[in-house]
Amino acid sequence: MKFNIINEYDPLECVMVHRPGDEIERLTHNNMERFLFEDIPFLKRMQEEHDEFCDAMRSRGISVFYLEKMLLELLGTHAAAKQSLIETVCRVEGVPAIAQELLNTQHFPDESLLQLLFAGLTTSEYQKKTGRRSPPSPAKEDYILEPIPNAYFSRDPAVVVGPTVISCKMHYFERVRETILTRSVLEHHPEFAGQTITYGGSRSPTEDRPFTIEGGDVIVLSRDALLIGASERTRSETIEVLAKKAFDEGHVKRVYEIPIPTERTFMHLDTVLTIVDHGVVVWFPGVMEHIKYIHHLEEDDSGQVVRKKDSRNLEQILSDEFGKQVEIVRTGGGDEHFASREQRTDGTNTLALAPRVACTYERNTRTIAAMEKAGIECISIIGSELVRGLGGPRCMTMPLRRRSADEATV
């Protein structure tokens, strides 16, 4: 496969997802807020909803890759990658002493290792598996390795821009392992052989924390331009470092930094703005129509990144980038009451499967009506359990390839 994402709306060909698993069962009333959940989902129904979502994509001819399946294949066939992955996870999470024990296939065969990479490992589980006293751990509660219940939001650990990948750096420590797992698959699985991680690869320690960035804040406008949200999760300093790398590599020419409120409901730019076709956006007016300034980043003749406040508002910027007056579909149909309700259930977080074909939760009825009025075909999916982690269809997918117009004519 060759990665290719030059915008948000060309026909989607391949995505990577993670089907929610036993890590969701680790959530309790006491820890759910620390793990960034609003409630405790019902796993069985959550999996059924996720399966229906993936079936909807497959029915449109989209190939769906599962992170957990590719990771299991990697564990079973690539010894060096497996060792590096386990050692990195244990080092980052403060328990390097158990790395070699986890690599002991007698105690932890590949299937068990895969499970604990997502669901975590408690002290009692470690003792039962190994017969040994567990080492001191910085993890909270009874965990040596904590679970990662947000892993089904596969948008955030990495994002494809053009033919390359940005390996992201999570703001919250509870999500750091998601990046490590995803990066290992992207770097070592044979399906992705020859692809390039242009930012944040395992050999780029200077592009690591505290320079945090998450995939939900990155929106690919075109071959030439990116929108990146300066949010709770993505630092302005990171955007500048990333812009410099993108300019040097020739991937884009312009980066727009969009500041959004650092509130839980607006955690990423794609929770308040998505693109469903050339010149057509869905946005939450309560945020997008109150942005006071936007920074424009470009490279000057000496190769330095120049940052300046753009004199245009976002509507003008989008219209200029699209070469036409942008068409805005407002969350909740623009009604303040329903916009607030449907923002909470990810009405703005749509995923374009093709131009003017967008996937969204069926519960966002007012936003769906507004999109359909604008001529957008809506693929509605059930999300009663999936939505409890505060994320929609775009959050749950990492697009790997879209068929661009020039390829379609070949």
- pLDDT 10s digits, 22-58: 999 999 999 999 999 989 999 999 999 999 999 999 9
Share of the chain above pLDDT 70, in %: 95
Domain ranges of the chain: 12-66+149-405, 70-145
SS (H, E, C) 361-407: ECCCHHHHHHHHHCCCEEEEECCCCHHHHCCCCCCCCEEEEECCHHH
- Distance spanning both ends of the chain, measured CA to CA: 18
- pLDDT 10s digits, 174-216: 999 999 999 999 999 999 988 888 888 766 666 666 789 999 9
What pLDDT score does 193 carry?
87
Question: Backbone phi, then psi, for 37, in 5-degree steps?
Answer: -110, 150
- Give the contacts of 301 (CB within 8 A, at least 6 positions apart): none
- pLDDT 10s digits, 338-354: 999 999 999 999 999 99
Q: Which amino acid is at 280?
A: V
Annotated active-site residue 395? The verdict is yes
Q: Place 1 in a pLDDT band, splitting at 50, 70 and 90.
A: confident
Report the distance separating Cα 234 and Cα 268, nearest Å.
8
What pLDDT score does 83 carry?
96
Q: How many Cβ atoms sit within 10 Å of the Cβ of residue 195?
A: 18
Report the distance separating Cα 158 and Cα 182, nearest Å.
7
pTM of the model: 0.94
- Beta-strand pair 254-259/225-230: parallel
Q: Place 406 in a pLDDT band, splitting at 50, 70 and 90.
A: low
Write the class of the CATH domain 12-66+149-405: alpha beta
Report the distance separating Cα 350 and Cα 272, nearest Å.
10
Catalytic residue among 90, 168, 359, 395: 395
Share of the chain above pLDDT 90, in %: 81
Tokens of 179: 């990046």
Report the distance separating Cα 62 and Cα 354, nearest Å.
10
Q: Place 223 in a pLDDT band, splitting at 50, 70 and 90.
A: very high
Report the distance separating Cα 245 and Cα 395, nearest Å.
25
Report the distance separating Cα 49 and Cα 42, nearest Å.
11
